[in-house]
Chains A and B, each alone.
Chain A
Amino acid sequence: MQTVLTGWGRTAPSAADLVTPAGTAAVDRLVTQAGRRGIIARGLARSYGDAAQNAGGTVLDATSLDGIGTVDRTTHTVSVEAGVSLDALMRRLVPQGYFVPVTPGTRYVTVGGALAADIHGKNHHLEGSFANHLESFTLRAPKETVVAEPGTETDVFWTTAGALGLTGVVTDVTIRMLPIESSLMLIDTERVPNLDVLMERMVEGDARYRYSVAWIDCLRSGRSLGRSVLTRGDHAPLEALPPRRRSDPLRFAPPTGLAAPPWAPTGLMNRVTVRAFNEFWFRRAPRRRLEHLETITSFFHPLDAVQGWNRLYGRRGFVQYQFVVPEDAAPTVRRSLERLSAARCASFLAVLKRFGPGNPGPLSFPAPGWTLALDIPAYVRGLGDLLDELDRLVVEAGGRVYLAKDSRLSPELIPAMYPDLDRLRELRARLDPSGVLQSDLARRLQLL
């Protein structure tokens, strides 16, 4: 059925034939028989921009592929179908003592989407991104179906990680899970007065924590530029739980929470409301509090408490901007925050994190250094020029922008940001010579 689709940012809609395959045989049929304008897989549509849209073509709704296998207790691996959400996986496996190896800020992404974007989480500095925790996956492309592992079909494996579905449709994935003793988190929280102190604290202390992230209030300037709340921690071991929780340490029942209203005025997220929220967020955090217990939901997925929070940005939607620059490019992070603060654009809390080593994937986003992510309402005047300017700073520093979140990058900057893009083109020459796998993002950024 012809359906108008957007990403999570609700910008740049386009229409495609949205089809739901009944099983993997149907996926093969769709991939080999796609029409002139091609096909792309779509999961829970949490990419912010147009990665899972294919105007005038076919979009394969992969969420129907939702089988979850049983965990192998010796290797800690589980095989799942690619349309399974991390939410479903956590609900099934946390009570059995396993956590997903990488989680983004929402549980509502599919395993296939996690691989397609090669997502990262708060543990990237130590444990890398999603593809680093996979044993194997099955990729269905027009020419052949490939079972890829890091050791066999190496090129298919790494080129698919972060390729946003442009190498084929992934149907089955085997993940190495993380054994945990409880469903609670043991967290250290501290308020940090400015960017210099924040970066220093992260460089000096991150290695001691499995998870680390900072929320920055981007409306601050001058000496309080980069004022933030730094939270770091790990899964709580059994002995850290209060006695009454020890009888059922793995209980995991995230509340479904509130739903955002179906409509919000375009200007709701403005300087006044965002400043007030950011102030509240900062004041709410303890000045310094060590080893307090938090739930998985409140630590990793606070925004999941409000279903459809993206609607709060109104009809025009919003963009998320995330870049990474090398460790020695801390001044670039500072300059971007200064530019954002000077433009006084109402950015909800920005997130700063230090990445560890990247992986061999040519399109995988994470690279060692600093990553900054922020949400900005699309109605902000001059936003295009401001972000273009930040792009130039990022490229000069040897960094790149995260394509799964992009909705407005210039195609001219892609070769500088992803210099190994030709590996995608070479792999497609083998798996998809007639160019069936297509998306709006690929067209916009001229990736193919």
Chain B
Amino acid sequence: MRDGLGAVQSVLVFGGTSDIAEATLRRLVAHRTRRVVLAGRDVDRLGEIAEDLRARGATLVECVPFDAVDTSTHEALVDDVFERVGDIDLVLVAFGVLGEQADAEQHAAAAVDVARVNYLGAVSVLTPTAEQLRSQGHGTLVVLSSVAGERARESNYVYGSTKAGLDAFAQGLSDRLVGTGASVMIVRPGFVHTKMTAGLKPAPLAATPDAVADAILDGLAAGRTIVWVPRTLRPVMSVLRHLPRPVFRRLAL
């Protein structure tokens, strides 16, 4: 169960090898979290993270093979995890791909791949997970969105559009879950230095996975519904969102 100060005892992560997920898990295990389920594609890497979390005090760490594009398997996978592990206090949806924007501009298949993982994959796990949390009467879904979804940009609109869709889905889900004991927290980081963004030129206000993890823990303790990382991105994006298009385009972000 989540405690009075926002600490959770059990967590399920989709995209367990993500840098942000790993940083978040370390912090959770340093507090009350003892049971962890890691779902992801790279099972070897999941095993290494599991070992690290056990050394840090987690008593049960399970690795579950999970592929975001394989949507037909998701519902059964989610139900099976809840059946075996019992109540889960926190579900973190952390997977995503950036894709090659240039490639995606030319080839429909590349653009569709990004949309499959980031949007369809997330919708496909969020739906059965939300049902499970609703029926257990408690639990928080943490959804990693992005400021890229706030206003589409020329340089990464394929990725941005998938996050916009995911963000909208999570907002609606959040409202639907009011009164059920379950809740959703949407996390909107700016540029984060991770393996997903390796080699890219960092945008202004770039953050680290540790900073995002800290913001997630603070948000959980405060019971927030939307978390911006860093916080200054909220007013910044609020301005950018309303800039006239010719001006926005010339910013070359």
Q: How far is the CA of A73 from the CA of B69 in the complex (A)?
A: 76
A12 near B87 (CB under 8 angstroms)?
Answer: no
How far, in Å, is A310 (CB) from chain B's closest CB?
13
Interface residues on B, range: 20 to 34
Q: How far is the CA of A355 from the CA of B181 in the complex (A)?
A: 38
A56 within 8 A of B: yes
How many residues of A are in contact with the other chain, CB < 8 A?
A: 32
A379 near B222 (CB under 8 angstroms)?
Answer: yes
B55 within 8 A of A: no
A319 near B138 (CB under 8 angstroms)?
Answer: no
Question: Could you give, for residues 9-28 of chain B, a 1 whenever the CB lies within 8 Å of some chain A CB and a 0 otherwise?
Answer: 10000000000000000000
How far, in Å, is A330 (CB) from chain B's closest CB?
28
A15 within 8 A of B: yes
A201 within 8 A of B: no
B246 within 8 A of A: no
B223 near A315 (CB under 8 angstroms)?
Answer: yes
A37 near B137 (CB under 8 angstroms)?
Answer: yes
Q: How many A-B residue pairs have CB under 8 A?
A: 77
B124 within 8 A of A: no
B137 near A16 (CB under 8 angstroms)?
Answer: yes
B104 within 8 A of A: no
B7 near A408 (CB under 8 angstroms)?
Answer: yes
How far, in Å, is A155 (CB) from chain B's closest CB?
28
A15 near B4 (CB under 8 angstroms)?
Answer: no
Interface residues of B in 121-136 (CB under 8 A from A): 135-136
For B87, give the chain A residue with the smallest CB separation.
A443
Contact of B1 among A48, A379, A383, A443 (CB under 8 A): A443
For A444, give the chain B residue with the smallest CB separation.
B1
Asked if A383 meets B5 with Cβ closer than 8 Å, knowing A37-B137, A55-B136, A315-B223, the reply is: yes
Q: How far is the CA of A48 from the CA of B5 in the complex (A)?
A: 13
B199 within 8 A of A: no
How far, in Å, is B253 (CB) from chain A's closest CB?
34
B234 within 8 A of A: no
B4 near A55 (CB under 8 angstroms)?
Answer: no
B5 near A384 (CB under 8 angstroms)?
Answer: yes
Asked if A408 meets B181 with Cβ closer than 8 Å, knowing A37-B136, A55-B136, A379-B222, the reply is: no
Kindly list chain B residues whose C-beta atoms are within 8 Å of the C-beta of A443.
Answer: 1, 87
How far, in Å, is B224 (CB) from chain A's closest CB?
10
For B9, give the chain A residue with the smallest CB separation.
A444
A189 within 8 A of B: no
Query: Across chains A and B, which 3 residue pairs bring their CB atoms closest together, nearest first?
Result: A407-B4, A15-B181, A56-B137
